[in-house]
Amino acid sequence: MGVFEWIGLGYVSYLFLYAVFLCLSDCDLGLLLATKFGKGIGKFNKKVVWITGASSGIGEHLALVLAKAGAKLVLSARSETNLERVKQKCLGADGITSEDILIIPMDVTDFSQHQQHFNKVLSHFGQLDILVNNAGRSQRASWEDIQLDVDKQMFDLNVFGTISLSRIAARYFLDRGSGHIAVTSSIAGVLGAPFSGSYTATKHAIHGYFNSLRREKLGTNLVITLLCPGPTFSNFLAESFTDKPGEKFGQPQSATDRRMTTERCAYLSAIAIANELNEVWMGLFPLLPLVYIAVYCPVITNSLGRFVGASALQKLRDTKVAVDESKRNDASS
C-alpha cells in the first residue's frame, strides 16, 4: 500500500478504537487518561476549596472526596442543617478537624452578599485556592409553556449567581497570581436537552461566559474547568423547575434509571479539577457516543432525530418522560 492508504487505514483504525472506548467508558478520553495516568486527589491536600451547592448530590460527595484527600473546605448552600450533616461526614476523614471546614449558609441569588461571604473565607483560611460553582437546579417542562419568570429565576440561580461569585474569585486569583474556578455544567450545556429549555439555555450561557474568560486570560495562571455530567443519581429531579414560577417538579427518580452514581461523578469531577482539564464529559452508555456524534456529525444527528423523537431522547435522562406529549395533544384537540 502507498503512504495515503496507510494514513487512511490508520485513521479508520483510530476511529474504530475510539468508538469502542466510548462504548466502554463513562467519561471522555482526556478524563479517562487522567484517571489512569494523571494527578490523583492527593493534589488537594492542604488546598482551600469552596464548594457551593454542597448540601446534597454532587456537591456533597465532592466534599467527601476532597476531605479524604486532606483539603480544607468551605461548604455553602441554603440549608445550614444539611451543611452541618455534610460537615460531620467529612470529619470522618483522617486529619480533618472542625477548623478545616467552614460552613457558610448562603443563597447564591443574593448577589449583594457574595463579597461578604468571600471575605469570610479569606478571614478564616487566609486564602482560597479553588472555587467550585456547583449550586443550581434542573428543569422539566415543555418549551412553549415556560413562563418568562421561570427563565429569569433559572438564570439568576444557574448563571448570574455563578458569574457574580466567580468574578470576585477571578479578581482575587489574578491579583494573587494563581487560582482555579470549576463549574458544574451539564451535557445539556453541550447539546440541547428536550423538556429543559431554560435549563439548557443556562448551561450554554455558562459555557459562553467561561470559555470567553479562559481565552481572555491565556498566559495567566487562572484555570477554568467545566464539568459536564449526564444523568446522575441525586435529588435534582424532585427539586427541578417546571414551567411555572415557584413550582417544583416533585417526581422522585427511579432506582432503575440508568444514571451514573453520585460518588462516581464526584470522583471524576475531582480528577478533572486536579488535572486542570478544560472541559470534561461524563455519562453512561449510550450517552457519550451520542454526544460525540451530535457534536462532530450534526447532519447525522439531525437525520436520526427525526426518527427517534424527543420522547426517546428524554428517556435517556429519565425513565418516565417528564412531559407527556400525548396528554398535551389530547387536551388541545
Enumerate the active-site residues. Answer: 199
Contacts of 28 (CB under 8 A, 6+ apart): 280, 281, 282, 288
CA nearest neighbour of 231 among 208, 205, 256: 256
Contacts of 282 (CB under 8 A, 6+ apart): 26, 27, 28, 31, 227, 228, 229, 230, 232, 260, 265, 268, 269
C-alpha cell of residue 219: 498566559
Q: CA-CA distance, 261 to 281, in Å (whole number)?
A: 15
Report the Cα 141 to chain-centroid distance in Å.
Answer: 20
Q: CA-CA distance, 207 to 190, in Å (whole number)?
A: 8
CA nearest neighbour of 70 among 270, 214, 295, 294: 270
CB atoms within 10 A of CB 54: 30
8 Å CB contact between 195 and 323 = yes
CB atoms within 10 A of CB 286: 13
Q: Where are the beta strands (DSSP E) in 240-328?
A: 279-282
